[in-house]
Structure 1
């Protein structure tokens, strides 16, 4: 019981950011924050996340029968909604406060969470921008990406294109071979700087902006790369008219009942932190 109390207290405690870290994130569009969650905290929640991924996964095809997106990872979304045990972890004040402070906003709401499990032999994650999927009227969006296991350099963290979030909407291409090739040519043609944080320890976390270009390598190891992510959006953000089918789908799925012009405040977008 004492351990549970201590873990819940950790989820409410502040993770102190320096002014330099905030400035670096805002300039580069990404940052690595060591030990955002302690190992005991991750070890307590990892089995619950694993259990939900197994319960909710509908992908049964072998890797060789899937397309590039399907080979990249098993993707299970909105675990906070489907598991009472995971609500306190996904909706943690500790994580949301960091998201708000990095963006320089007073409050953040849930957009959605995702467990991303890259299987042994799983393929690369193509170059993309997350926010091509999100019909929102702000640049103040951010994703927390936390490994639940230690990941070696050959699997590693994502590779980010520094400063690319300042370029906004670069391409409407969804995650695919075409997005990878097109954006790779764009990055190389513009000679844009890339950063990969390499190996990470369970409980470390990266944060990246919704417009930051990023990709990830495949998994040549015999172990699954288990990652939990949470996407936050600035409180007060409004829905915009979806300009693609992907954005129409996101509006239906993650902001049910809302229309263009409405604030992002559906039952699936709780306010997680407000200063």
Structure 2
């Protein structure tokens, strides 16, 4: 997008004590208007184009498994597009993450575009941190729609308070994780929370252990979402508990050994 001036996302979004408390108690929070209409429109076009260029899922929906039907997934767009890097590295987002967790500084784990196609399937119940070989619970994901979305498009849905459970076993996103974790949510009686709508530039933030899922996209529009995962500075690489964590250690932490700080060249501090 030659000649375009990209919005500076370094200005701060104030998090108050009540919002921090709500996040820490529930394991998730919805925040409004983090990015304004003009800002999000510019970055939306960049990210949309990035997904079109780097998406590798070309199979017909009927040929995919549950995970494949849930969304089109493209990770670390910042590595291949310097303009998208301005979005992923935004100090505004990183400071919100730090303030909600109550830590001084946060590092990048990775970004991830999650585009749920019209007619796309549900995202099973899961815990993000199942995939991450990290020794802290101070991890958080920002989930930001790039267009206005409604409940029917596959709104992220949380089990409030479920982050208190921590690691619940080797359950990758699958039909099995959906069955096992749905039963846990019902047995524990966690409140189920989802927004009825979100504006482009709103965002949810949720903890790495928070149980969550998303219904299928029953609309005629693509649900366009960009996510960024942050980890508190000082976290260390944990012994991988499964093959997915070992793959993450190699890819997102550059293969750093167990016990090392999560501080590879792919994990810069973003609010300092």
* TM-score scaled by length of structure 1: 0.96
Q: Distance in 2 between matches of 1:198 and 1:81?
A: 33
1:261 counterpart residue number: 259
Equivalent residue number for residue 56 of structure 2? 58
Once the two structures are overlaid, the 10-residue window that deviates more, 219-228 or 180-189, is 180-189
CA–CA distance in structure 2, aligned partners of residues 207 and 94 of structure 1: 13
- CA deviation after TM superposition for structure 1 residue 198, in Å: 2.1
Alignment correspondent of 2:176 = 178
Structure 2 residue aligned with 1:17:
15
Structure 1 residue corresponding to 2:82, chosen from 79, 84, 87: 84
Q: Does 1:138 align with 2:136?
A: yes
Which ranges of 4 or more aligned residues in structure 1 deviate by more than 2 Å?
A: 1-5
Q: How does 1:69-218 map to 2 (within 5 A)?
A: 69-218=67-216
The structure-2 alpha-carbon separation of the partners of 1:2 and 1:80, relative to structure 1 and needing over 3 Å to count, comes to closer
Deviation string 1:26-68 (CA, Å, 9 cap, x unpaired) is 0000000000111111100111111111111111101111000
Label 1:2 to 1:101 Cα distance change in 2 as closer, same or farther (>3 A): farther
Unpaired runs of at least 5, structure 2: none
Q: CA deviation at 1:157?
A: 2.5
SS in structure 2 of the partner of residue 85 of structure 1: helix
> In 1, distance between residues paired with 2:21 and 2:188?
24
**C-alpha deviation, 1:170, in angstroms:** 1.6
Alignment deviations for residues 223-265 of structure 1 (CA, whole Å, 9 cap, x no partner): 0000000000000110011111110010011011300010011
Contact 1:160 1:194 in 2 (8 A): yes
Cα distance per residue 1:4-35 (max 9 Å; x no partner): 36x21xx0101011110010000000000000
Aligned equivalents of 2:36, 2:151: Cα separation in 1: 21
1:270 paired with 2:271, answer no
Give the number of aligned pairs. 271
**SS of equivalent to 1:271:** coil
User: Which stretch has the larger CA shift, 149-158 or 89-98?
Assistant: 149-158
TM-score (normalised: structure 2): 0.97
Superposed CA deviations along residues 158-209 of structure 1, whole A, max 9, x for unmatched, are 1101111111112321000010011111111222211111211100000000
* 1:3 CA drift (Å): 8.1
Counterpart-to-counterpart distance in 2, 1:80 and 1:70 = 23
